[in-house]
Structure 1
Amino acid sequence: MAKIVRYWAHDPVGNIENMLQNFDKEQLQKGEDAGIVFVAEYDDGTRSIVKAADIVEPTTFSNDGGVTLVLPSYVDERTSATVACFDALAEIVNPSVAAASTDEAETQADPIGAFMAALEKLRALKAGGEE
């Protein structure tokens, strides 16, 4: 009997697919609910469509490039932290150009401190785990 060697996440709307790397049941179900189709690939080269609930990380898993499913809030949080970092850096380099995405009084009083605080917030998101 053929063994599953990897799973693919297929987006039928965008007609793209990539190898699955995250096997979190909740995230997989959210992906399926959003229209993602999961495909099991077997060691004999065959494939079959599977339900998110049936996906189990294969013991012969090959992580040679794939996609990790995340919620938009995960991306939004990291994008906001990145923009705040660049805004704080812009305040140091050219105070008249910088946008105010951090506390304005903090930025005016100590732009380097504001940058370091924004950078720490961004680092904390990475240290919190990459999903």
Structure 2
Amino acid sequence: MTYAGLTVAYWTVIVVALLPIGCAALAKWGMFAKPRRDGGYDNHDPRAWMARQGGWRARANAAQANCFEAMPFYIGAVIIAHQHGAFQMRLDLMAFLYVLLRLIYILFYLADMATLRSTAWTLALAINIAILFI
């Protein structure tokens, strides 16, 4: 199935590429209007500002890093599956499931539910490996 010339699986690559940006936005949420001297977002030194954050903001930043780490393998798996002529409906379904699991992973990370987060991460990795071999 294609939309605008791209399969659903290729559309999920775009979504996966945007996940880290969404996590970064969450980490900075509500801090742009607050003055820097009061702990607001510091665009002059954003990495040092982020390093001083704790709680859910720090976890959102960690989720961002993990999204970047997971992205190359996922993109490679989708491209390889397409090149090998994978059954498109199966690939699209697995790609959608991967994105869903990554979103759940992010939510569990933000909520500090470590065991469930790790479970979602493991399931997403398993789906990614399955995509590579379909």
TM-score (norm 1): 0.32
Structure having the larger proportion of residues in helix: 2
TM-score (norm 2): 0.32
Structure having the larger proportion of residues in strand: 1
Q: Which has the higher contact order (CA 8 A, sep 6+)?
A: 2
Q: Which has the larger radius of gyration?
A: 1
